[in-house]
Amino acid sequence: MRTHLVVAPLLFIAGALAAQPGPGAAGGPAAAAAAKPSAPTSTAAADAFRVDIAVPEAPAFLLTGGDASGLLRPSTVRDFSAAFGDFTDKDGRFTLPSSFAVEIAPSLLFFGRNLTVAQYAGLPADIDNPLPRAPGTPAGAPLVYHRAPPANLFHRAWSTLRVSLATHRADGQDQPTKIALGLRTSPINDADPRLNTEYRRQIRSLLAARNELNTIIALRRCPAPATGGGPLIVPGLDTPAPVRDPKADSVAAAAAARLAECLTNSPDKLPAELTDLAARRNTAHAAIVEARKAFAERNWNQQTLEFAGAFSMAARDSTGRSPRPAEYAAWGTYTHPLREWAQFMVGGRFRSARDTATDERGSEWLVGSRLFMGRNTAKALLEVQLPFSSDLDARPYAGLGAEVRILPELWATFSTGLERQDDARPSRLVTRFSIRSGKPNLQSPDPTISQRTP
């Protein structure tokens, strides 16, 4: 069995399982256990601020040939994403994908439930708490907050670090099979919702209102014993699992678990006196969903600066035996917004590759740009690439295409264009198609509470 066919599904399943909350994750009984209300930012998990912006190409994916483009597009940081590409054979006919990749952000995938948004952004825990009002301040006066410290680029590099792994299945028995590993980071990323002060404070306010109503409904509907550990909350997936002494909070843990279980096991009916609270809670939850959509629509094209690198290994044939180092590459990309409906991207790539048959090594430099026009969920693109100082197979390319969100967390990109050959051969038509997905939504983050009464 080919390596690609075995590794791909295992990587996808592992990423999906790692993305799901464990016993101590927020949203389950153990997470609700003994969680005390505190300052908004200090209890806001970074995972609660995710938005659905286009899933970008991974560096490892590009290096294995999953996408023929030499440009690496930046995007907001995701805890987990997967990509399928190379849907055409050497004759240009559509076929089953021969390239697969996964990309993870370790800070979010492994620590996202317990990593607060302030920790992710490298900010003080109270950065989003308003300062006390001075005596005599008018009631309608704007709130005043702490001034944010200068960005810590080393911390930002870790928070936005992503690791990608990709495989490429050979088309024929005499063609090499490839596997690649890539890294990238974004020192500037204005499209990251966790780094946007206005959005962060808006979501914190909405989460606090929703969780307060969750608590009231749960306590009135499912009476619990005295906690002994302070007030209880029944959160959505937005509060980190507390790191506390389990013995000191054992009573509170049992009470919170009982409330969460009661609310989960009988969600279809509420006492008549709680229907108004349920309606208010559902309104708060709907406002959170709309705020996330609005942020994505306003900020999909914001300024981003990204650097990446990757290396690959290749076997001499499709069996995958005796792989050897084959290629390495480095990318730099910058994007800038053009009004509310367009984004300009410019970038470059250096690549060095070894021929698996002759062991000769060559290198190339490539620069290019893309123009995206549309909205977050659907946009057209124009692309130009120009190689120079090339010993490899890069060719000048110009094309157009589209990027579309098919379903939540599922994106597709299609493009077609002309690739210039040498003087003895005419330009050829190049078609590209890839599908990319964010973290599978295997568990509803916080479903709407039914307002039906007995």
pLDDT tens sequence across 359-371: 778 888 999 999 9
Residues 6+ apart with CB under 8 A from 79: 19, 47, 50, 104, 105, 108, 109, 112, 439
- The rounded radius of gyration (Å) of the Cα atoms in the chain is 25
Residues 6 or more apart whose CB falls under 8 angstroms from that of 210 comprise 236, 281, 284, 285, 288, 446
Greatest mean pLDDT among 89-98, 202-211, 295-304 lies in: 295-304
User: How many domains does one find in the chain?
Assistant: 1
Give residue 108's domain range: 3-133+157-201+295-438
Q: What is the mean pLDDT of residues 428-438?
A: 86
Give the tens place of pLDDT for each residue, 21-44: 333 333 333 333 333 333 343 346
What is the tens place of the pLDDT at every residue in 187-204?
A: 999 999 998 989 988 888
Q: At residue 354, does pLDDT exceed 70?
A: yes
Is pLDDT at 241 greater than 60 in this prediction? no
Token pair in block for residue 18 = 């790692």
Residue (of 38, 58, 241) closest to 164 by Cα position: 58
Give the CATH number of the domain where residue 128 resides: 2.40.160.40
Q: Crossing angle of helices 250-265/197-221, nearest 10°?
A: 90
* pLDDT over threshold 80, residue 5: no
Task: Assess if residue 173 is contained within a domain.
Answer: yes
In Å, how far from its chain's centre is CA 24? 22
Confidence of residue 402 (pLDDT cuts 50, 70, 90): very high
Could you give the 3-state DSSP secondary structure of residue 448?
coil
Report the alpha-carbon distance of residue 436 to residue 103 in Å, rounded. 11
CB atoms within 10 A of CB 231: 12
87 assigned to some structural domain? yes
Query: Who wins on pLDDT, 183 or 204?
Result: 183
Mean pLDDT value of segment 163-187: 82
Find out whether 27 and 277 touch, Cβ atoms under 8 Å: no
Compute the average pLDDT of residues 210-222. 76
DSSP H or E segment with residue 254: helix 250-265
Do the domain assignments include residue 152?
Answer: no
What mean pLDDT comes out for the span 71-81? 88
Tokens encoding 393? 């197979």
Q: How many CA atoms lie within 13 A of 66 on its CB side?
A: 33
Which tops the pLDDT comparison, 357 or 62? 62
Nearest Cα residue to 279 out of 196, 217, 339, 187: 217
Distance separating alpha carbons of residues 54 and 40, to the nearest angstrom = 29
Which pTM was predicted? 0.77
CA proximity to 166, closest of 356, 350, 421, 434 = 434
> Residue 279 domain-assigned?
no
Is 209's pLDDT higher than 70?
yes
Residue 217 has a pLDDT of 76
The answer as to whether 233 is a domain residue is: no
217 vs 278: CA distance, rounded Å:
7
CA distances to 34, 168, 408 from 53, in Å: 34, 26, 10
Please state, in angstroms and rounded to a whole number, the distance separating the CA atoms of residues 271 and 452: 8
Asked if the structure places residue 230 within a domain, the reply is no
Reported as a single tens digit per residue, the pLDDT across 117-131 is 888 888 888 777 777
Please report whether residue 454 resides in a domain: no
Euclidean distance between CA atoms 301 and 189, whole angstroms: 10
Position 340 in a domain: yes
**pLDDT for 440 beyond 80:** no
Residue 333's pLDDT band, with cuts at 50, 70 and 90, is very high
Structure tokens at 347: 């970038």
Cα–Cα distance, 397 to 382 (Å, whole number): 11
Q: Which residue has the higher pLDDT, 392 or 106?
A: 106
Residue 328 token pair: 């390495």
